[in-house]
Structure 1
């Protein structure tokens, strides 16, 4: 059924804080050299243990024992500027994403008879938004985080000189933390300060990664990688602070106070096709196409376990996204490798459906980076990527009070996110 109990939504019970990367919130950026390539060739490169995050079959092409440790910082310009149609008092939003750290770890081990095993730990899902608490959009969201971490044991098999296949089992940890203000004076007669509504929970779920690499001749590789949908469930009571009598009565009448609230969502399945072509001893060309099933993520199951129970589906009208990227690698000498890439991602939401909790859009990615070989067994990489989202207009309303709904209108001007990544790879 469609979402039927709109008054509950009106006070922001189910605000889901997500942000804009990879068309949705599925990150290509996990601190590795892939950042400098804007994801070009990701499922076909198989140039180090981080292939576990992009195509598990690539592990079968790696020799001996290899380890990669990586870290990155994300920084953005995500400041919302309201216009004259906004009817809520308050200040500016501030920059919603200042600095966000991340990291990853990968290890692969070649066995006998074409078999390889590996393990990966990385976070490729979610971002965090932190608006100023007293800003004009505080009744829609003040701050929140949705994040996912993958722990993945994997196995791969080199069938022959041309074909390799791989399988990874994902133990996926998801966390949701959201806070927004509640208007204790919706009709402007009580002169009460705002209350607060918080929701926080985490969950473990399982998924899988499948991959295949085809190498018709030396220097040419095609890679196909699939990641399964993962169903996560958040279940907790809402933490309500400082609510006045109007908000308390409204929530109590609908069974929200002291109710156990369950949110069900689906981390999208994805499919990536990549090409790696070594032209000569110096140059290589790379390309990727990617599909992500964001229409399923937009269907949020909601259950209130209370004396007056509710069950419904919040349909956010998301749509699937597409990614395309091209890149190149240039080797100056045996020690230095230069990466460069350009990518485009479509948006999971239209301008009409964009919200302050989901400020995503189509975007362009421009990346570059350098890998330096300290010796034949040790590489270090430094990469940079700019994700350009441009202007993102939003016009959002809540139905309370009925005679003058709260409205926030304006746009994120010249929005961008940049990623700084550093990694080291050791071979034994």
Structure 2
């Protein structure tokens, strides 16, 4: 991700302000993204496979939601099928200040009390070889909303990014055992952030904070590719690639209650309406396998790579001192890796039970963690049930615990040296989802 503030000259002179404005603009452009749980995309979209913690995601062709992970999978679906899902993410990620904190204010409360989502998938078998489908889903996006007066308010108060994907899909059976699929992916991204502005330059005075609000939306285009291969009667293999999607946000920030005259002059000289936020939704590679032990039990697994190093590069040319300097900041994100295993138990003709566990590496080192996006390695523990209401209708319900544990977080203003310092203790997310599948 690249965030730049362009100006006619390469060096910004802020009338001797010790980086107050620069640090404020820096804080305003850092995203609270779906990287919340370890530099990962949100695998859950309410679909039945969410109960497997992403295990076997590229081979589990039980309903049209397979197009989200492997477009080749719709070749396995008979007739016309409709899948509608909903879910809610409940967060438990409170921050606790420690003795290293130098900002006034509280701990911020729970910044993610809940985050809802829905999805819709439909597939149609044209003939024995050709299938088409369409999906609308949101597997990219989370939001944070801290108390406005918390200790980290000069880094972020509220930040949200939501990506909704629209994916027409086509799959073709090359042979009875090998299928390929492709789906162009159109994503609408919405970004909003709020950050406090310190009106008390050099720590002098007792003026209330101002605020900077920035929001915009943009469309980006990418694609999904997939292969599905049945090795034999027991083993299926799936391989899928998701391309990157570039989103560019270009709206003007709104400034509220800026009472310091020096800040007003500096803002005018910086021409803040040129502030830009560029973000890259990462490309991914997913490999999955399933092994059918018998008519009741199937084992599944997945390995996944995600290119978060592209997402995390930020250049902010607004931090300066009396001499006038330009500073570039790198979030130092790195690529992440995912591994998951799971099992399906077809208990009887009506009931199917799913269970899975997964691990995702962290996109940041502990020293690079930020309060607007407190990433960490994450463990997933998932389970779910599918119930066949009748021959053509299935209902499913699933639950996932995403465990991130303890996360230290220290951020320091470049010029003032003031820090927000503390820890997220026992951080976790609860994901509850469910839906229905109709076959026609």
TM-score of the pair, normalised by structure 2: 0.91
Aligned partner (choices 288, 291, 310) of residue 274 of structure 1: 288
CA distance 1:339–1:318, change in 2 (3 Å)? same
Q: CA deviation at 1:256?
A: 3.6
Alpha-carbon distance in 2 for matches of 1:21, 1:427: 35
Deviations 1:319-355 (A, max 9, x none): 0000000000111110000000000000001101100
Counterpart for residue 251 of structure 1: 267
Q: CA deviation at 1:301?
A: 5.9
1:2/1:314 contact within 8 Å kept? no
Deviations 1:366-421 (A, max 9, x none): 000000000111000000000000000011011243xxx22100110000001000
Aligned partner (choices 78, 101, 126) of residue 111 of structure 1: 126
- The runs of 5 or more residues in structure 1 that have no matched partner are 305-309
Counterpart for residue 424 of structure 1: 436
Counterpart for residue 14 of structure 1: 29
* RCO comparison, higher one (Cα < 8 Å, 6+): 2
Counterpart for residue 421 of structure 2: 409
2:73/2:228 contact within 8 Å kept? yes
Alpha-carbon distance in 2 for matches of 1:312, 1:205: 29
Deviations 1:164-189 (A, max 9, x none): 00000001101110001011114333
CA distance 1:332–1:236, change in 2 (3 Å)? same
2:37/2:402 contact within 8 Å kept? no
Q: CA deviation at 1:269?
A: 0.1
Counterpart for residue 242 of structure 1: 257
More helix by share: 2
Aligned partner (choices 327, 331, 335) of residue 316 of structure 1: 331
User: How many residue pairs get matched?
Assistant: 418
Counterpart for residue 66 of structure 1: 81
TM-score of the pair, normalised by structure 1: 0.93
Alpha-carbon distance in 1 for matches of 2:274, 2:73: 44
Alpha-carbon distance in 2 for matches of 1:43, 1:21: 23
2:346 maps to 1:334: no
Alpha-carbon distance in 2 for matches of 1:311, 1:231: 26
1:74/1:99 contact within 8 Å kept? yes
- The range that moved more, 8-17 or 113-122, is 8-17
SS in structure 1 of the partner of residue 68 of structure 2: helix
CA distance 1:19–1:160, change in 2 (3 Å)? closer
More strand by share: 1
Deviations 1:222-277 (A, max 9, x none): 00010001111000111111112232233334x144x3222212110000000111
Deviations 1:73-122 (A, max 9, x none): 10011111000111111122100100111010000000124000000000
